[in-house]
Amino acid sequence: MTQPAATTIDRWSGGTCPFDAGWRKVMMWWFIITDGLLFAGFLGAYGYARILALRWPDQSTVFSLPYIAAMTFVLITSSATMASAVEAAKEGKRRLALRFIVLTAIGGAVFLGMQAYEWWHLIEEGARLNTNPWGDASFSAYFFLLTGFHGSHVLTGVSILITTAIRTAKGWSTADGVEMAGLYWHFVDLVWVFIFTLFYLL
Amino acid sequence: MTNGFVRRYIFSTDHKIIGIQYILTGLIMAIVGAWLAVLIRLQLGWPEHQWVFLSRLLPKGMPSGVMTPEFYLAVVTMHGTIMVFFFISYVLVSGFGNYLVPLQVGARDMAFPFLNMLSYWIALLSAVVMVLSFFVEGGAAAAGWTAYPPLSAVASAVPGSQMGQTLWILSMALFIASFTMSGLNIVATVFSTRAPGLSMMRLPLTVWSFFIASILGLLAFPPLTAGAVMLLFDRHFGTSFFLPSGLVVAGKLLPNTGGSPLLWQHLFWFLGHPEVYVLILPALGIAFDILPAFTRKPVFGYRISVWCLVAVGCLSMIVWGHHMFVSGMSPFTGEYFSLVTLTITVPMTIFGVNMLASLWGAKLELRTPMLFALSVIAMFGSGGFGGLFLGNATADMQLHDTYFVVGHFHMMIGGVTLLATFAAIYFWFPKMFGRTMNETLGRLHFWFTFGPFFVIFFMQHFLGLQGAPRRYYAFTAFDYLRDTRGQNLAISIAALLLVSGQLLFLVNFVWSLFGGLAAKANPWQATTLEWTTASPPPHGNFETQPVVERWAYEYGVQTTDGDFAVQTVPARNVPVTA
């Protein structure tokens, strides 16, 4: 016996979630939207300040762009391993999923380490929240604000990944749970793409 | 937990208990806010009078019984903050949102009950932090509920900008965290847990309004969070996000360079404008739904009203600049913001006319909830007219920061929401507590609320037209405002009348809680799902999963129950009209 496919009207007429997803995933998506708008607020403020700025430094002289590109590469790669973890979890391959989750967490940790080194290096050269040797004070203020907030999100992501890894190792996690950790992780990576483009390159 | 009482009534994950906790917390905060309003009106009505008993109560703020200007600023700031965020948001949006949404969509609880409990406890903490800020060095925040820098960013600018402003920001951060959790819950609940047959276009408008308000909150609050973090950095870590170069405060040149106070205004009003719709949409939705229970006929234009709410929600995200017409914005930008602002009047007017048309040809039963719901229409219409003037950049240049603005927004996000809150409390009290509120006291309370409220804020429009600026602690120093002395006195007397009228409500509320007549499951003969279950509803809400067969406004039909059909009455028994 074959069930007739649910139409859009069926999906929206109650008794079920219209997106073929549980409430957890609906909530995660909305959380990502609101968290995304938090970064939109920071980036919007940065754009506003950038337009007002009198002496915005040339980023290529301040940052080592190959180093930042390497950081970006590590983070994007971790998104790929995360996608593989979600796929493996869906297929029920628990050990494979665990391996990919751990790889993703390592990618995140490496990114954080590289960012910490970058901060240390810039602070050595005299960058502070309220001043820097290269140009407008708001340059370093927004640098620390944007990368700091993003870094704290990566840290949260790594903690979520470690939790998911433990749960997967113990056999407690579900494919949905891994996917939700993945949603958050991809979001954090996407935010970095915006920061990388708008703050480092533009 | 071993203690049954604690588990059931304090750390409960039941949305009904959490809703009631929000409502009670909000009402207590309303008493604080009203008390601050009394202080404001005593000052403005009798500017140099020495209130000896108050000097004993508030030795720092009112030495020798006359308020200091700094204390007045703190009082105004806290009155606004508490009323907007801790009274209306808690009672109407979080309180009734929590209580009504799962019941009206036929769910057993919110999508994520534990998160819901967490959101309440964070909300309570946020309220406590806000109230405690009165008692720190320098007193409570004094930069207005809008917290404009540099006033809010420089500790030496005003005493309230010391510890008080920091606590204000922390309290708002907690509030936003809590509101985000509660908003996520409401959105997920409406999407995922509707009863079978309850399509989006069969939802009561109340649920629609909470749904849209929650989405607006989720979209609008994060940029304010960003702004609040930056303000905190400016205050404590020496950054200059909002502080321009060459700023001199208290005779000293500040070292800051390169920031812009206007940036804060953009971030704040990007939240601030949608926020007023977060408050007013549930008020309108609730009034819209209460009307048909007392006209005994279907509402007019349900579908178009839903789309009006959606349209207003979308428009509200792109109009924030109309709060900043005098900030030196380009006339072309001003023209854009005027245009989109005035566009909002179209869906809002359609909505208002739909409410009026819902009354057409009906025999009105003027019970207390109905009186309040009707007054929502009156207040909404009258207050809305002021918006037409303020939305116009040209007129706003003159009216900006005068009492015209104060009168307008008090009618809209003060009056409409306050009256709808009371309508909701009188209407759903029997469902919440299984008891009925006293009708005579209720009607008396209505006249003592609507009458003085309308008088106060109608008169303030005229004060504004005469050029009286808001947030000034006395008008005695200006020749052109000498004549407004009598008006301010009249407003103050009306305000005292309004506040004393609320005692009737408190008495009625407490007395009915313990001694009110037992309520039936459906005392108003209304049609939505919450009336199909016992009063108060059991844990889990419904004994069996309700199945919805029709829309929420099936009045004026013949059934065994009377002239209405609840949403679960099968289509084979009573024909479905929508």
Q: pLDDT at position A20, please?
A: 76
Q: Taking a C-beta distance cutoff of 8 angstroms, is the pair B404, B465 a contact?
A: yes
Classify residue B7 as left (phi > 0), alpha (psi -120 to 50) or beta: alpha
Q: Which 100-119 residues of chain B touch chain A by CB within 8 A?
A: 106, 111-112
Cβ contacts (< 8 Å) between A22 and chain B: which residues?
A: 192
With CB atoms and an 8 Å threshold, state whether A137 touches B239: yes
**pLDDT by position in tens, chain A (length 202):** 455 666 787 888 888 888 878 899 999 999 999 999 999 999 999 999 999 898 999 998 999 999 999 999 999 999 999 999 999 999 999 999 999 999 999 999 999 999 999 999 999 999 999 999 999 999 999 999 999 999 999 999 999 999 999 999 999 989 999 999 999 999 999 999 999 999 999 8
Across the strands, what pairs with B402? B469
Output DSSP code: residue B137: T
Which CA distances in Å does B542 have to A11, B109, B273, B557?
23, 10, 38, 25
Q: CA B27, CA B569: separation in Å to the nearest integer?
A: 36
Say which of A36, A41, A136 has its CB closest to residue B227: A41
**pLDDT tens for each residue of B127-166:** 999 999 999 999 999 999 999 999 999 999 999 999 999 9
Q: Taking a C-beta distance cutoff of 8 angstroms, is the pair B95, B20 a contact?
A: yes
Q: pLDDT at position B93, please?
A: 94
Of the pLDDT bands very low, low, confident and very high (cuts 50, 70, 90), residue B263 is: very high
pLDDT tops 50 at residue B478: yes
Q: Look up residue A123 and give its amino acid.
A: I
Q: pLDDT at position A124, please?
A: 95
Structure tokens, A31: 């959380």
Burial (0-12, 13-18, 19+ Cβ within 10 Å), B71 = buried
Scan for tokens 């009249």, then name that residue: B490
- The percent of residues in chain B predicted with pLDDT above 70, rounded, is 99
**pLDDT tens for each residue of B243-257:** 999 999 989 999 998
Q: Look up residue B145 and give its amino acid.
A: W
Q: pLDDT at position B563, please?
A: 92
Task: Please name which of A153, A121, A113, A154 lies closest in space to residue A140, comparing C-alpha atoms.
Answer: A121
Which CA distances in Å does A30 have to A34, A37, B184, B188, B318?
6, 11, 7, 9, 20
Q: Which 41-100 residues of chain A touch chain B by CB within 8 A?
A: 41-42, 44-45, 48-49, 52-54
HSE-CB at B348 with a 13 A cutoff on CA atoms is 25
Q: Taking a C-beta distance cutoff of 8 angstroms, is the pair A23, B191 a contact?
A: yes
B327 touches chain A (CB under 8 A): no
What's the residue count for chain A? Answer: 202
Query: Would you identify the CATH topology of the domain B18-242+259-532?
Result: Cytochrome C Oxidase; Chain A (1.20.210)
Q: Name the helix (H) or strand (E) containing B248.
A: strand B248-249
Question: Lowest-confidence range among A19-28, B27-36, B451-460?
Answer: A19-28
B189 touches chain A (CB under 8 A): yes
Cβ contacts (< 8 Å) between A149 and chain B: which residues?
A: 229
Task: Please name which of B224, B317, B306 lies closest in space to residue B276, comparing C-alpha atoms.
Answer: B317
> What number of other Cβ atoms are within 10 A of residue B152's Cβ?
29
Q: pLDDT at position B1, please?
A: 45
Structure tokens, B116: 């819901």
Residue ranges and CATH numbers for the domains of chain A are: 19-201 (1.20.120.80)
HSE-CB at B395 with a 13 A cutoff on CA atoms is 13
Classify residue B471 as left (phi > 0), alpha (psi -120 to 50) or beta: left
Q: pLDDT at position A2, please?
A: 55
With CB atoms and an 8 Å threshold, state whether B233 touches A145: yes
- The percent of residues in chain B predicted with pLDDT above 90, rounded, is 90
Output DSSP code: residue B94: I
Does residue B266 sit in helix, strand or coil? helix
Q: pLDDT at position B578, please?
A: 67
**pLDDT tens for each residue of B310-342:** 999 999 999 999 999 999 999 999 999 999 999
Q: pLDDT at position A18, please?
A: 85
Across the strands, what pairs with B555? B564
Scan for tokens 């299984």, then name that residue: B434
**pLDDT tens for each residue of B395-444:** 999 999 999 999 999 999 999 999 999 999 999 999 999 999 999 999 99
Task: Please name which of A79, A77, A102, A75 lies closest in space to residue A94, comparing C-alpha atoms.
Answer: A102
Q: CA B391, CA A49: separation in Å to the nearest integer?
A: 28
Structure tokens, B336: 């854009």
* Dihedral sign (CA B468, B375, B203, B108): positive
Cβ within 8 Å of residue A140, ≥6 positions away: A122, A127, A128, A129, A131, A132
Characterize B458-497 residue by residue with b for buried, 16 or more Cβ atoms within 10 angstroms of its Cβ, and e for exposed. bbbbebbeeebbbebbbbeeeeebeebeebbeebbebbbb
Q: pLDDT at position A167, please?
A: 95
Structure tokens, B515: 């001694």
Cβ within 8 Å of residue B128, ≥6 positions away: none
For residue B435, which phi and psi values (nearest 5 degrees)? -135, 160
Q: CA A120, CA A98: separation in Å to the nearest integer?
A: 33
Per-domain residue ranges of chain B: 18-242+259-532
Longest dimension (CA), chain A: 74
Scan for tokens 């964070």, then name that residue: B122
pLDDT tops 90 at residue B504: yes
Cβ contacts (< 8 Å) between B256 and chain A: which residues?
A: 130
Mean pLDDT of chain B: 94
Q: pLDDT at position A27, please?
A: 94
Q: Taking a C-beta distance cutoff of 8 angstroms, is the pair B448, B529 a contact?
A: no
